[in-house]
Amino acid sequence: MSGETSSTAGIPNTGDMPRHVAIIMDGNGRWARRRRLPRIAGHRRGAEAVRATVRACGERGIEYLTLFAFSSENWRRPAEEVALLMKLFKSALENEVEKLHANGVRLKVVGDIQRFGPKIGELIAGGEALTAHNRQLTLTIAANYGGRWDILQAVNRMLADGACAPVDEAALAPYLAMSYAPEPDLFIRTGGEQRISNFLLWQLAYAELYFTETLWPDFDGAALDQAIASYRKRERRFGRTSEQLEQSQRPEVA
């Protein structure tokens, strides 16, 4: 297993700033409805909030930002809304990737992207290739993603590689869609609901969960700072006792 995925194996030195923030961006529809605008206007403002949040994470030295843009279940929405979301995703890929690259952002897309068709597939592959060596911030867009899908695709690929029972976590980890990233430290969901909604099920095992009423189009650097302030107050024990943590954090005395 790469050291990157081992947050549950040792007591990580989390410091003050989360290394990896994962967000469910909820509330675009309600933001629009409150203004008597069509839902897609909320998604357009949601795309603005994505830009602001990527910038804010870069400024704060956060290394990984993962955004749930479109879940496996979102295909159940009206066809017109799905088509408009696809259009928004495609134009973001066409227009934003150069800017991401100029700012040292590595782009990754996780999920079953085949269903988006060849054009979006090409744009994703091109954007990932262009930005592959950037390390300022890794921006992962989860698109047609589901946590159960991820675990199943990992198991199936592992079996296809000839894995024999019993397997352990370390054997499965490299096959998970986000094997290149440490597990999220901080999970944020906007829009008031308090659910994981089939997001990163495996990887969120020890994440600190933060829920806010703020609707996604209103999310910005200040809202991110509030989430980080809450995160900093938490004691992350990873199954251990407070006393064990105190001992592990005490400086070595010669």
φ, ψ for residue 222, nearest 5 deg = -65, -40
Distance (Å, whole) CA 178 – CA 236: 22
Cβ closest to ligand FPP, residue 87 vs residue 237: 87
Active-site residue, from 16, 26, 144, 225: 26
Decide whether 49 or 173 has the Cβ nearer to ligand FPP. 49
**Binder to ligand FPP among 25, 120, 186, 200 (CB under 6 A)?**
25
Residue of closest CB approach to ligand FPP: 29
Of 133, 134, 136, the C-alpha closest to 62 is 136
127 scored as a contact of ligand FPP (CB under 6 A) = no
> Can you read off the two tokens belonging to residue 173?
């980890």
What are the residue ranges of helices labelled H in 132-191? 147-160, 169-172
The yes-or-no answer on residue 198 being catalytic is: no
Joined together, the tokens standing for residue 236 give: 């992350």
* Positions 172 through 201 that interact with ligand FPP (CB under 6 A): 191
**Per-residue DSSP letter, 214:** S
Q: State residue 114 phi and psi, 5-degree precision.
A: -55, -35
74 given a catalytic annotation: yes
Distance CA 17, CA 231 (A): 9
69 binds ligand FPP (CB under 6 A): yes
Q: Which is nearer to ligand FPP, 98 or 169 (CB)?
A: 98
Using CB under 6 A, pick the residue from 29, 111, 127, 182 that binds ligand FPP. Answer: 29
Contact stretch for ligand FPP (CB under 6 A) within 84-92, 102-110, 146-154, 165-173? 84-92
Residues 210-229 that bind ligand FPP (CB under 6 A): 216
Closest to 103 (Cα-Cα) out of 70, 72, 144, 136: 136
Task: Classify burial at 186, counting beta carbons within 10 Å of its beta carbon; exposed 0-12, middle 13-18, buried 19 or more.
Answer: buried
- Annotated catalytic residue: which of 13, 74, 134, 156? 74
Which residues are at the interface with ligand FPP (CB under 6 A)? Answer: 25-30, 43, 46-47, 50, 67, 69, 74, 85, 88-89, 92, 141, 191, 216
Residues designated catalytic: 26, 74
